[in-house]
Chains A and B, each alone.
Chain A
Amino acid sequence: MTGFANPKMHCRRPRKRTVASLVILLIGSQLCRSETNELQQSLQQLKNMQLEDLLNLQVSGLARRPEKLSDSPSAAQVLTGEEIHRSAATTLPDALRLAPNLLVDQIDSHSWAISSRGFNSSTSDKMQVMIDGRSVYTPLFSGVFWDVQNVMLEDLDRVEIVSGPGASLWGANAVNGVINVVSKSAADTPGALFSGGGGSLTHGYTALRYGDKIGQDLYFRVYGFGYEHDDTLLPSGKDATNEWRMGQGGFRADWLPKSGEIVTLQGDFYGGSFDQAAPGTTDVDGQNILARWTHPLREESDTTLQLYWDRTWRAIPDTFAEDLNTFDLDFQYRVPIGERPQVLTGLGYRLYVDDVQNSEALAFLPAHKNLQLFSGFIQDEVTLVDERLFLTLGTKLEHNDYSGFEIQPTGRLAYKPGTNELIWAAISRAVRSPSRIDTEFFAPGEPPFTFQGGGDRFQSEKLLAYELGYRQQITHRLSGSVSLSFNDYSDVRSVEPLNGSTTEFIILNELAAQTYGAEFSLNWQPVERWRLRGGYTFFHKDIILGDSQDINQGAGEGNDPHHWFVLQSMLDLPARFEFDTIVRYQDNLNQIGPSVPAFIALDLRLAWHATKHLELSVSGQNLFDNQHPEFGPPATRQEIPRSVFGKLTFNF
């Protein structure tokens, strides 16, 4: 340091600069140099490779996706693996909270109400949810048991969320939205990873993965994880009894013999249990295996064949147990016509084999049921004005065992006033086809029944949706979107007196509903090191009773707030630190049904990449209050406590 005291030794240094600013300058240029050095080293490695190896190199393909999104004439949002990694999420529903166009309310330690465009409840039944191409909503009630939809978050590539109907492509149930969870190719997860953590709500979080390459083209990974989620709280602050334990393992193999040719085989198995105060612990387990073959034909044209088997088991003591086997076969063909792709067409077949064990409390009759679903779709994009105006027409045609043939068309018009702007409008029809709970549900388990399913009298719930949207990539650091929707529902489920009785009721479709809403989203990177993303949703729902004598007066079909927003901030700090913030707000749930007070939730995360191989993080969830409820009637609902969580991730 004596050198700084002698100006002669630094004669070129501008005179006015102080020692302090010089030090800062030196550190700054050192940082720049180390980044440049890293880039230079990485480039040198690439330059040392033969052309042949360079062409076979696996590199991440994420950067293309946002471009595709900006072309999409729908209210689609994408969560990247990075955004999820930088939240405090330990479960898939936690991760889904980051999507501004979804409403995610936690009910207890292992249950969530998740929907877009309203009708949210613990049994939300108007969403199509897929994990790596495997549909996970149950034909029992057309909803999702979220507690068994676990993914290794470290291996998640992205989650695509479409609010609004996607039925023309994804079929019955894609009425209010589609959630598509996509894990990384095995080629993108080489090496070993260990992640361990614990905190006040999540204990003993352990995740392991190992990925490698066999020969030139075959990649695989195996993984396993487990955790325990502690009880959520009663309004009094006491623990409710609902501890949740889960363990899951699985594998994925991707064979990439040549460009565009992909053969994937993947499978998972899990087991878990949830405590209950009475009558006892619920047990779940499940297994699935999926094979997918994508074969390229010519440029931008390919075929995909997919097959899977999925089994789930759930036993709730003294209530019911269910063993469900799903077999699914799906074929898809994509061809380019003219400049913009494409014609997309496909066929599908699904068989559900459902076995229910009934109880004194309730019954599904018959207890055993096979359900078949046949489907086909076609979608074409026509260019009306070169580079400006495009029309997408498509429809799905399905046949199910309850309501027979269902046709679900869409028409989407996209106008590009400039390179980075898109205005779109759509009209779509979608149906929520009958499930077992609508048609074959009886309570109590033996006659005389108080409640009974509608049988043949229950029809599909129908939606006619009108949408208008705008997206703009304002600069390469700033983009936003707006979508407006008006939804007109008919034949909405209701519970009616059976033949005028005051003691016997039947499930029918005597309600109608209209909803309208606006969704705003924003993605902004003010400086290289800081990114903000999020959105705000306004939503209004009117249930139309008409001649219905619904015993819930329309309150049985979900409960939604008028306003909610989510904002995520991701800040890269010096010395490989990351500081991340999530703020969520939800207005009162009081449109119809039991009121839940408005709340603001704050999550914080601080992470340090100690080395390239080691990441340490500490995060806090729901930091604003000791506990708050998010969903459900005051008498029975549980509240979500403030929690902290520490995690260590080691990969090599």
Chain B
Amino acid sequence: MTAAEPVPKETQVQAVFLLRFAQFVTWPSNAFAHADSSLVIGVLGENPFGDALNLAVKGETAHGRHITVKHLRNVGDIDGCHVLYISPSESTRVDKATSAVAGKPVLTVSPIEGFATQHGGMIRLILERGRASVRINVETATAAHLTLDARLLRLADVVKAP
């Protein structure tokens, strides 16, 4: 609430995680239209980041590509995204979003409960009792032809599909 910190720390951490995921995950080359196409992070639903995500990716690259952020109103707009962040506002529509990109090379990320275990998502952002952690469903990511860096897998809590 104080003027000094308009974006909560936890949200800033999530923004930086999205940047790191873009850098620690490898996409198949056919996921990009051109050699110099930028990597697109889509935010589906209410934007919890304020300016934080735009500022976090500003001037950064992933696999030599620029990173851009797109805000998506509904599931129909997700074409062209490489990372899909599903906002907590979508908690009742989460299955629709994950099935729309199933099998496509789109890395799905969300803080919604059960995202990686029950909703067909790949990376669940967890904030429990003030500590950030990550849960990854490797099977879903592999099925989408995404390769996850070993450093990421070592640090995350790895689960299988239900």
Contact = CB atoms under 8 A, between A and B. Distances in A.
A417 to B, nearest CB: 11
B35 interface: no
A64 B151 contact: no
Contacts of A187: 130-131
Interface stretch (A37-45, A135-143, A233-241, A590-598): A37-45
Interface string A22-55: 0000000000000110111011001100011011
Contact of A58 (B16, B130, B135): B130
Contact of B131 (A58, A341, A570, A576): A58
Interface in A363-421: 387, 416, 419
Nearest to B60: A47
B34 interface: no
Interface residues of B, number: 52
B128 A612 contact: no
A256 interface: yes
Contacts, number: 127
Contact of B7 (A39, A86, A259): A39
Given A52-B155, A576-B4, A46 B16 contact: yes
Interface in A60-75: 60-61, 63-64, 67
B4 A57 contact: no
Nearest to A86: B1
A86 B89 CA distance: 28
A339 B1 contact: no
Given A59-B10, A300-B114, A572 B131 contact: no
Nearest to B93: A419
A299 B55 CA distance: 32
B74 to A, nearest CB: 13
Given A35-B6, A419-B92, A56 B131 contact: yes
Interface string B42-62: 000010001110011000100
Given A42-B12, A259-B157, A529-B3, A188 B92 contact: no
Contacts of A43: 12, 15-16, 52, 55-56
Interface in B3-29: 3-13, 15-17, 19-20, 24
Contacts of B132: 54-57, 59
Nearest to A418: B92
A623 interface: no
Nearest to A612: B4
Interface residues of A, number: 49
A36 B11 CA distance: 15
A381 to B, nearest CB: 13
A300 B162 CA distance: 14
A260 interface: yes
B91 A40 contact: no
B130 A54 contact: no
B106 interface: no
A578 B1 CA distance: 10
B88 interface: yes
B30 interface: no
Q: Which of A51, A56, A60, A339 has the most CB of B within 10 A?
A: A51
A38 B131 CA distance: 22
B33 to A, nearest CB: 28
B103 to A, nearest CB: 22
A531 interface: yes
B24 A59 contact: no
B117 to A, nearest CB: 5
B96 to A, nearest CB: 11
A545 interface: no
Contacts of B12: 39, 42-43, 46
A43 to B, nearest CB: 5
A26 B50 CA distance: 22
A612 B132 CA distance: 25
Interface of B is mostly: mixed
Contacts of A570: 1
Contacts of A77: none
A578 B6 CA distance: 15
Contact of A38 (B5, B127, B133, B156): B5
Contacts of B56: 43, 46-47
A43 B12 CA distance: 7
B135 A299 contact: yes
Contacts of B157: 259
Contacts of A86: 1
B127 A51 contact: no
Given A39-B51, A47-B56, A528-B6, A59 B118 contact: no
B55 A36 contact: yes
B113 interface: yes
A609 B55 CA distance: 27
Contact of A476 (B11, B46, B131): B46
A51 B20 contact: yes
A572 B113 CA distance: 33
A167 B50 CA distance: 41
Interface in B117-140: 117-118, 126-135
Nearest to B156: A55
A531 B2 CA distance: 12
A531 B1 contact: yes
Nearest to B23: A51
Nearest to A576: B3
B69 interface: no
A55 B134 contact: yes
Contacts of A576: 2-4
Nearest to A294: B129
A232 interface: no
A47 B16 contact: yes
Contacts of B113: 300, 341
Contact of A54 (B17, B55, B91, B135): B17
A476 B133 CA distance: 26
Interface of B: 1-13, 15-17, 19-20, 24, 46, 50-52, 55-56, 60, 88-89, 91-93, 113-114, 116-118, 126-135, 151-152, 155-157, 159
Which 10 A-B pairs rank lowest in CB-CB distance, beginning with the nearest? A259-B133, A59-B10, A61-B130, A46-B16, A59-B9, A299-B117, A419-B92, A43-B56, A387-B92, A61-B127
Interface of A: 35-36, 38-40, 42-43, 46-47, 51-52, 54-61, 63-64, 67, 82, 86, 185, 187-188, 256, 259-260, 262, 299-300, 336, 339, 341, 387, 416, 419, 476, 528-529, 531, 570, 572, 576, 578, 609, 612
14 contacts: A36-B55, A46-B16, A47-B16, A57-B132, A59-B9, A59-B10, A59-B131, A61-B10, A63-B11, A256-B129, A299-B114, A529-B3, A572-B1, A572-B2
Given A61-B130, A82-B1, 8 more contacts: A39-B50, A43-B15, A43-B52, A47-B19, A59-B131, A63-B8, A260-B129, A578-B2
